[in-house]
Structure 1
């Protein structure tokens, strides 16, 4: 199963490229309803959109109607091709469809996406997806609630401009429990003021693991994640396009998964670098991602799933290329 972790981008830039069963379905329902609620009321938008436009429902001579459906809830649909993705014991190549959403509304800072793996029936031998008994949906939702806004106080401290209650929920809807992941990271988040166009956020989470493809750490608190996110506008062009860089690094540590299993590890690192060339609606995406023991699989260990021995290749580079439509 691919785990693309698409990038969370500032809500001021539309040139963007990221429980219990009851809570699971509630979160899925939220994902479905948020786009509808985002379109319900006309709002005077103040956030910057792609190519310098102002997102607004109110059409006047000075502020023509926005090219987008919402003044805060940013959406896109992208076809993504991936190569050498290393979140599992075998490298995955896949072409899939993704719906991505993000935005800021009051204290809520939201990012998420829903993938349909192998949607076009194209992938390598280790790949499976929506139409061949693989996972029909892989989703990630990352809400943060601003403590500054909730308290009505300036909580800035040194370079930290804003504090958040932060969560990161990941769900792989496999066809049975051994092919399913259900992970919740929860903790604190921050925005860091750099005094430059560089946008930086840092989140620190504890991890609770429900299903995890049959791994030994299921239904337990198991480790932590330190997550650094960063983005930078690179250029604007006369044709109305812009070029944007965004990246993040996840460091997972403190797990017990590798204590009794030599094929697994207690730590993992993923570092992502993305370049987005974007018009008002059309966008192009290129990503280079470095994995170190991706998915907590021990690089170089030997496994056999019934088709012969193979060596885990969980350390190295993987790549994504995408073409999408923002609306």
Structure 2
């Protein structure tokens, strides 16, 4: 992590793994540049949506990365599911389902402050961005023509780093959603993410409270016979993590409400899209 001199600054830089940006040094466009990458070994229990008959428990490896370079702020990750390709794996991540083993999130933002050379901060708002978000995976089944279809979700909007009491700098973004498969705009999404170190040990390791919210709204509800859609829904993640310079261990509790706008237990498929899940993770930082 470039220009990190103390553990407190290191904690701030690690905050980027939840999407937070390092505020630009406006006197030197690249004066606050940094980058980071880490590998997370993850295990998920009860992730939604899930088939109530089989549940959903699976392992996966996540490569997570991010940083700041001039006007650009970046966060992203690539997930590889069911590493051993076990057919006994619960849920839709076993090799017999034909589902993709990969999922990718890519979230670049452009600092409007850095782009214009002006300080646009006001009140608790520290920096303003043009924000984008892209979600991609492989196969999710076939369309009406029998062609395999993957997730191609894009989000476009504005964002800010906001100083929230106790949490500190919190990344917030408001997007309009454009479905690349359907070639149409369909609703909006509000996202927020935070990283709060709150207890430091004598060996300079620390505990953090970290998490995020993704909430979609204003979408078109549909009464599909198999998988009906709602007009709003989302998820929230609360994580408790121990961090050292090189390693991290954590537990996360994630709540879902009609996630991906799938109506809970709706239609003939009857997927559960509302409820709680648990995540265990072990991290190595590069």
Query: 1:92 offset after TM fit, Å?
Result: 2.4
Give the aligned partner of residue 29 of structure 1.
none
Give the aligned partner of residue 208 of structure 2.
244
Distance 2:221 2:48 in 1: 18
Normalized per residue, which structure has more strand?
A: 2
Does residue 12 of the first structure (1) align with residue 12 of the second (2)? yes
User: Which of 278, 281, 284 is the matching residue for 1:322?
Assistant: 281
Contact kept? 1:15, 1:277, Cα under 8 Å:
no
User: Which of 200, 207, 211 is the matching residue for 2:177?
Assistant: 207
Residues 259 and 303 of structure 1, relative CA distance in 2, 3 Å threshold = closer
Contact kept? 1:190, 1:201, Cα under 8 Å:
yes
Give the paired residue count: 257
Instruction: Name structure 1 gaps, 5 residues minimum.
Output: 1-9, 19-44, 48-70, 212-217, 305-310
What SS does structure 2 have at the residue aligned with 1:134? Answer: coil
Give the aligned partner of residue 237 of structure 2.
272
Residues 15 and 150 of structure 1, relative CA distance in 2, 3 Å threshold = closer
Contact kept? 2:40, 2:62, Cα under 8 Å:
yes
What SS does structure 1 have at the residue aligned with 2:46? Answer: strand
Does residue 76 of the first structure (1) align with residue 34 of the second (2)? no
Distance 2:219 2:155 in 1: 13
What SS does structure 1 have at the residue aligned with 2:92? Answer: coil
Contact kept? 2:221, 2:228, Cα under 8 Å:
no
Residues 175 and 263 of structure 1, relative CA distance in 2, 3 Å threshold = closer
Q: In the TM superposition, what whole-angstrom CA distance separates every residue of 1:274-301 from its partner, at most 9, and x where no partner exists?
A: 1221111111121100001122111132
Contact kept? 1:88, 1:295, Cα under 8 Å:
no
Does residue 128 of the first structure (1) align with residue 90 of the second (2)? no
Distance 2:85 2:231 in 1: 34
Larger CA deviation: 84-93 vs 135-144: 84-93
Query: 1:11 offset after TM fit, Å?
Result: 7.8
Query: 1:16 offset after TM fit, Å?
Result: 7.0
Distance 2:15 2:194 in 1: 15
Contact kept? 1:119, 1:131, Cα under 8 Å:
no
Larger CA deviation: 84-93 vs 180-189: 84-93
Q: In the TM superposition, what whole-angstrom CA distance separates every residue of 1:192-213 from its partner, at most 9, and x where no partner exists?
A: 12465622121000111123xx
Give the aligned partner of residue 104 of structure 1.
68
Residues 15 and 162 of structure 1, relative CA distance in 2, 3 Å threshold = closer
Query: 1:134 offset after TM fit, Å?
Result: 2.7
Query: 1:265 offset after TM fit, Å?
Result: 1.1
Q: In the TM superposition, what whole-angstrom CA distance separates every residue of 1:143-184 from its partner, at most 9, and x where no partner exists?
A: 111000110001113221211010010001227654510110
User: Which of 130, 137, 141 is the matching residue for 2:106?
Assistant: 141
Q: What is the TM-score normalised by the length of structure 2?
A: 0.80
Give the aligned partner of residue 116 of structure 1.
80
